[in-house]
Structure 1
Amino acid sequence: MRIKPLLLCVIIFCITIDLHAQEIFSPNGKIKVVVSLPNKTANEIYFTTFYKVNNGFIEAMPASPLGINRADEQFVNNLQLTKESKSISIHDRYQIVCGKRLLCENFGTEKTFSFQNSNHQPINIVFRVYNDGVAFRYEFPDRSFTAKNILDEATTYNFPDNTNRWMQPFEAAYENFYPLNKTGIGEGKSRQEWGFPALYQVNDQPVYVLISEANISENNCAAKLSNLQNKNQYKVVYPEQRKEFPHTGVVTTLPWSSQWHTLIIGKLSDIVESTLITDVSKSNQLKETNWIKPGAVSWIYWANNNGSKDYKKVVEYVDGAAAMRWPYVLIDWQWDIMSNGGNIIDAVNYAKSKNIKPLVWYNSSTNAIDTSNNSNDWFKYATPLFRLNTPEKRAQEFSWLRKIGVYGIKVDFFAGDQQDMMKYYIDILKDAAKYQLMVNFHGATVPRGWQRTYPNLMTTEAVYGAEWYNNGPTLTNKAAAHNTTLPFTRNVVGAMDYTPVTFSNSQFPHITSYAHELALAVVFESGWQHFADKPDAYHSLPEDEKNFLQNFPTAWEDTKLIDGYPAEKVIMARKKNGIWYVGGLNGKDERQTLVLNVNFLKDGNYELQLIKDGHDDKSFLSEKIKVKKGDTIKVECLARGGFAGVIKKMKE
């Protein structure tokens, strides 16, 4: 049979596609990754990501290059495919101590591509396509006892042009805003570097992608993104050298695996509810976890803009925690020079006498601290210093804390995202667990999956939070929009110590309503929720509002995004012991009606205790409403207002 020329061309094209582009599908068929392999005309590797809308796929991320470089070898444009694995089904179920839900379950498809470079050195690129996103990583499978320096990656994410994006200009402590940005061009002094996570909308489609990374080990650094060369091309960039760590990237023996590069994909509800960051992270490494207890914390710093050197002030916050039935009090910095009636031992004993569990603050002593340098003078007062920097010092300190009855630590002021800092974080978590101490990281990198691996990690700051009301006027006018952006960005990837729910003012005022502030307890997830206001501000609340906070849980069985859009509005529902807690925020500077749909309820009759804006931003209106599955409740919110509520099933 004679084949027509046109048909022959189609056949050749199809064979070429089959040989040089491999498709990987998620188990539910919604996400497809096409890996374009090297061939005679193209010697680089790309991946393209598609998402199914209605009956067809749209391009969620255009073709994006892959590759990685070591000081001794490059693995970018000189690779030859040597093997590709069969597709492997991934199905994982695990419990997590605190997070969006107690029981996490994921389904995915894994495929490994093995290559060698022109010097016959091997590398694997592993893809996992989950029902809610994509993860991939690099592996050097051969063995070498000589340390290798992994310098950088060619990994680049290509964004669709003119798409909405919400990205935080990079800052070492990840304390910045996520403004809506269409151009990809930063403002002010930005060097076109951006921190994880990074959210964008796929053109005008109701499809979103949140980019981050997970499963950082002692042999990884944490990365950021740079679009300096092209506004729509975001390259993965390793942190710069530091005096204490004079290397770029990672220094390690082989075999070696990179972090998982992650893309959560879908509707905004898919983004917010995803557990992909912990799904791809190493499983729990602690033998026992029954000593790990999430809970509410009374926090001394915010209202006083000072530490805990005043014993009587600490006593006030212990009494405040007891009155609010919160399990914890944080004794913040300068506790080592406490006076005015008692010292740290007296403070710990007083807390225990009130059945309150004390937590204490530490300086990581890594952030360019030089007490001989006048420019760093203030660090002299951020004490205690240099108590956790070696295994021996940690053992001594943690043993003492356990002996006197401390339950956890807050470690602050980390130096950056270099490999030595990643190791330091992990060493603290491991060593603290030996003494049954829970941990809170401040002035730190964003979560990258440790919440699963080391469940004594209760929360991490890495957010422009309420503490900034102490530092300047900026948050005052931006808080409402910022608060309604964080659930779609920063808080997706892990617990967030924003230190919320303030009714009085610190150094600079807030203009969000009281109901907005109350709702933050629900909207923001954190294993330790540090309530930042002074005790009197909580004691003076009306009965319903006080009762809401007195009985508030901080670890959840389930989480649902009911409605929302970054910087405009958000409505969240979280479940604990069969009770649903709801919170809604108006991110606009004008009135807005928020619609609470309770379709997440099971059949039956329920009662909603709704607390919403009153006649002004400093008053509440509380009411009880009978609801059932499928009902919608319209809540009128003030400018920068909100609502909170509790939904309980009624007795039959």
Structure 2
Amino acid sequence: MIKPSIYISLLTSSMLAHAQLPLSVTSPDGQITVKLEKQQNQLVYSVNYGNQEFLQQSQLGLNTNLGDFSQSLKYKSHTTASVNESYKLHNAKVSEVNYTANTLKAQFENQEGKVLGVEFNVSDSDVAFRYQISGAETDTRIKVLAEYSAFNLPDNATTFISPQALPETGWMQTKPSYEEPYTFNEALGTPSANGVGYTFPALFKNSDKGWLLISETGVDSHYVGSKLSEGTKDGVYRISFPQAGENNGIGATYAAMAMPATTPWRTITLGTSLKPIVESTVAFDLVKPLYQASQEYKMGRSTWSWIVWQDPSINYDDQIKFIDLAASLNFEYVLIDNWWDKNIGRERMAELVKYANGKGVDVILWYNSNGWWNDAPQTPQNRMNSAPARRNEMTWLQSIGVKGLKVDFFGGDKQETIKLYEDILTDANQYGLVITFHGSTIPRGWERMYPNFVTSEAVLASENLVFHQNSLDLHAYNATILPFTRNAIGAMDFAPVFLNKRLSQDQTVGTTRKTTDTFELATGVLYQSPVQHFGLTPNNLEEQPKFVIDTLKAMPTVWDETRYIAGQPGQDATIARRHLQTWWVAAINGENKAKRFDIDLPMLAGKKITLLFDKKDGSAGTKQVTVSNSGKLTLNLLAQGGALIIGR
């Protein structure tokens, strides 16, 4: 077992307080350089990769009730150091991480004599920064009213970013919930769909020089969840706080903290290709667990009747069918969705959990997060939004053997709402419950911060494939964007893998799937979520060939290693993930034309592998193939098709 360890070596100290700006810090490999200086009386930073500019001079600073920290800041001191930390993850895209970075901490004094610290961590693929604020002994608390942190993109950069939704819009006024489609290669400064900025993560293509992904991590109950502002015509995007109408108008839009205060990290992952973005662990590198796990939590796969069979399936008999399906597939969980309290009832739910446990399957139950911040009628309601109700409910859940909850319909990023996420997670840990969030915000390092957190939706997820034919028509295209955006920063509960042609219970009505069966199987690996909810139905056991069922039985959901192999947003994506000694390589084609291309698999060079491929009719085929000694393998993908490679 790797034990957490941190090694810090002091390189420069505040003895150099007389030193003048600019200051700089480079990555351990020397490729990334961050420069900190003053421009027009403002503190600014810039980021270069090699000799290429990835962020031009971008403003830093805060505005608070204790004073302004954006203008006329006086340099005080700085230190630089190196950091090397090893840690383990049990629920992510990698299991062991060795984080190495160089740091720069600089202190500045504002006109009121209060101190703003700016801290940069620079690794070989990531730049991260945050602020520390300190003042007099009488300064015991602070309100951060605005953050001026900016990201000034180079000319000719383009965007792959998701617009922020307006508050109390969408179905039953449940937005914002990070479910807007991404722009595709759009010009900088193009107005967003709703005029209120963009959600994290935000992907930018730096012309032909490379890529950068901007996000944040370390957000807990002490701060708000942030987003990007509208971009200027010059390509400047700034940190923006929640809208007043979020959470039904309840709670402030600013952050309130005790002094001295530290903000969350703003992260920038960059490189000449998408490889560092797919493989980055920066969301976890910069955070620590906020509490110890009360037990060892189980990750795994889950059946879910609602995603295809919808509300009518939330009854005792249909849930028996999906428990049996989970048992037949060796899945760990079954998810029982909304209205279970009315359609099954608490007494029969206890019987259902006992039946599932007897089959070796654990139960996850759905809950509505709220009682008053949207109009979603689904129940159970008013059980998760207050500590007394929540703890009473969790006591009952623990007594009948429930192992997890899916909590839905949040609608905002105010500090008030972030605290609710944290409170649910913290209480659930005391009752041995894993937590999935839906209709929710993105995870911001939460896999490491909260050991019983497993996944969040925060994406235009698979329920839309059932609701709208247009979503199914664009399914393959959108699937090639998500590995490089939303899923790059944390677990994503998309709920993949549909093998029915018509997405309804009787398969005579409903939306029609355009993707191949192998494409669908590949998304079970392409999308990373430590508890993966599958779009499978009982008929799939009889209709699919044995090798497909065997593949599903063996498919992992937690990984020891993840590698970018190939791909571009909107075109195709190939990602390799290793579980123990076995590599699973998922490839998908997002375009409406067949493709043939070579991929490099050095870890499987000269090895015999199992290849699942597209047959002409869109069903899955399988064969044994030997990868060349150079590690090259040729793939043939149908339009909206895929491939899945398994080897060791």
Amino acid corresponding to residue 279 of structure 2 in structure 1: E
Matches for 1:154-553 after TM superposition, within 5 Å:
154-171=148-165, 172-186=176-190, 189-191=193-195, 193-205=197-209, 207-227=210-230, 229-230=232-233, 232-242=235-245, 243=248, 245-266=250-271, 267-283=273-289, 285-289=291-295, 291-306=296-311, 309-339=314-344, 343-365=348-370, 368-369=373-374, 376=375, 379-380=376-377, 382-504=378-500, 505-506=502-503, 507-553=510-556
Residues 272 and 487 in structure 1, CA contact (< 8 A), matched pair in contact too: yes
Take 1:416 and 1:188, find their aligned partners in 2: how far apart are those partners? 18
Residues 209 and 271 in structure 1, CA contact (< 8 A), matched pair in contact too: yes
Any idea what SS the aligned residue of 1:20 has?
coil
Residues 74 and 109 in structure 2, CA contact (< 8 A), matched pair in contact too: yes
1:113 Cα deviation from its structure 2 partner: 1.0
Any idea what SS the aligned residue of 2:322 has?
helix
Amino acid corresponding to residue 31 of structure 2 in structure 1: K
- Identify the range of structure 1 (263-272 vs 465-474) with the bigger mean alpha-carbon deviation: 465-474
Take 2:149 and 2:69, find their aligned partners in 1: how far apart are those partners? 11
Take 2:630 and 2:388, find their aligned partners in 1: how far apart are those partners? 58
Any idea what SS the aligned residue of 2:302 has?
strand
Take 2:64 and 2:265, find their aligned partners in 1: how far apart are those partners? 18
Superposed CA offset, 1:422-474 (max 9, x none): 11111111111111111101111111101011121111100111111233233
1:398 Cα deviation from its structure 2 partner: 1.3
1:141 Cα deviation from its structure 2 partner: 2.6
Residues 119 and 131 in structure 2, CA contact (< 8 A), matched pair in contact too: yes
- Report what 1:88 is aligned to: 81
Amino acid corresponding to residue 345 of structure 1 in structure 2: A
TM-score, normalised relative to structure 2: 0.91
- Identify the range of structure 1 (245-254 vs 555-564) with the bigger mean alpha-carbon deviation: 245-254
Residues 190 and 231 in structure 2, CA contact (< 8 A), matched pair in contact too: no
Take 1:366 and 1:237, find their aligned partners in 2: how far apart are those partners? 27
1:340 Cα deviation from its structure 2 partner: 9.9
- Identify the range of structure 1 (591-600 vs 97-106) with the bigger mean alpha-carbon deviation: 591-600
Amino acid corresponding to residue 176 of structure 1 in structure 2: E
TM-score, normalised relative to structure 1: 0.90
Superposed CA offset, 1:48-93 (max 9, x none): 00002xxxx21111110011111341110121111112x1111111
1:616 Cα deviation from its structure 2 partner: 2.0
Distance 1:633 1:228, change over 3 A: closer
Distance 1:80 1:288, change over 3 A: same
Segments of 4+ in structure 1 off by > 4 A? 143-146, 185-188
Residues 308 and 334 in structure 1, CA contact (< 8 A), matched pair in contact too: no
Take 1:559 and 1:628, find their aligned partners in 2: how far apart are those partners? 21
Distance 1:629 1:525, change over 3 A: farther
Superposed CA offset, 1:310-350 (max 9, x none): 11111110011011111110011111112499821122112
Take 1:232 and 1:145, find their aligned partners in 2: how far apart are those partners? 37
Amino acid corresponding to residue 120 of structure 2 in structure 1: F
Distance 1:647 1:284, change over 3 A: farther
- Report what 1:137 is aligned to: 130
Take 2:303 and 2:329, find their aligned partners in 1: how far apart are those partners? 9
Amino acid corresponding to residue 556 of structure 1 in structure 2: W
Is residue 103 of structure 1 aligned with residue 96 of structure 2?
Answer: yes
- Report what 2:35 is aligned to: 34
- Identify the range of structure 1 (533-542 vs 429-438) with the bigger mean alpha-carbon deviation: 533-542
Take 1:647 and 1:367, find their aligned partners in 2: how far apart are those partners? 51
Residues 307 and 332 in structure 1, CA contact (< 8 A), matched pair in contact too: no
Residues 32 and 48 in structure 2, CA contact (< 8 A), matched pair in contact too: yes
1:613 Cα deviation from its structure 2 partner: 0.5
Any idea what SS the aligned residue of 1:548 has?
helix
1:147 Cα deviation from its structure 2 partner: 3.9
Distance 1:245 1:282, change over 3 A: farther
1:283 Cα deviation from its structure 2 partner: 3.5
Is residue 74 of structure 1 aligned with residue 68 of structure 2?
Answer: yes
Is residue 150 of structure 1 aligned with residue 144 of structure 2?
Answer: yes
1:169 Cα deviation from its structure 2 partner: 1.0
Structure 2's unaligned 5+ residue stretches are 1-17, 166-175, 504-509
1:515 Cα deviation from its structure 2 partner: 1.0
- Report what 2:627 is aligned to: 627
Superposed CA offset, 1:545-598 (max 9, x none): 111001111000111111111111111111112011111000111111142322
Amino acid corresponding to residue 621 of structure 1 in structure 2: G
- Report what 1:615 is aligned to: 616
Residues 442 and 460 in structure 1, CA contact (< 8 A), matched pair in contact too: yes
Any idea what SS the aligned residue of 1:78 has?
coil
Matches for 1:638-649 after TM superposition, within 5 Å:
638-648=638-648
1:482 Cα deviation from its structure 2 partner: 0.7
Distance 1:70 1:230, change over 3 A: farther
- Report what 2:172 is aligned to: none
Take 2:307 and 2:434, find their aligned partners in 1: how far apart are those partners? 22
- Report what 1:63 is aligned to: 57
Any idea what SS the aligned residue of 2:28 has?
coil
Amino acid corresponding to residue 181 of structure 2 in structure 1: F
Superposed CA offset, 1:255-276 (max 9, x none): 1111100001112111100101
Any idea what SS the aligned residue of 1:470 has?
helix
Distance 1:442 1:269, change over 3 A: same
Identical columns (%): 30
Amino acid corresponding to residue 270 of structure 1 in structure 2: P
1:390 Cα deviation from its structure 2 partner: 1.9
Residues 87 and 98 in structure 2, CA contact (< 8 A), matched pair in contact too: yes
Take 2:202 and 2:323, find their aligned partners in 1: how far apart are those partners? 39
Take 1:595 and 1:455, find their aligned partners in 2: how far apart are those partners? 39
Superposed CA offset, 1:487-530 (max 9, x none): 11100000110000002132422211111111001111000010
Residues 189 and 235 in structure 2, CA contact (< 8 A), matched pair in contact too: no
Take 1:189 and 1:217, find their aligned partners in 2: how far apart are those partners? 29
Take 1:498 and 1:158, find their aligned partners in 2: how far apart are those partners? 31
Amino acid corresponding to residue 26 of structure 1 in structure 2: S
Structure 1's unaligned 5+ residue stretches are 1-16, 370-375
Take 2:105 and 2:621, find their aligned partners in 1: how far apart are those partners? 57
Residues 611 and 621 in structure 1, CA contact (< 8 A), matched pair in contact too: yes
- Report what 2:44 is aligned to: 46
**Which of 89, 110, 119 is 2:112 aligned to?**
119
Amino acid corresponding to residue 30 of structure 1 in structure 2: Q
- Identify the range of structure 1 (153-162 vs 59-68) with the bigger mean alpha-carbon deviation: 153-162
Amino acid corresponding to residue 319 of structure 1 in structure 2: D
1:187 Cα deviation from its structure 2 partner: 6.6
Any idea what SS the aligned residue of 1:432 has?
helix
Distance 1:341 1:538, change over 3 A: farther
Residues 294 and 430 in structure 2, CA contact (< 8 A), matched pair in contact too: no
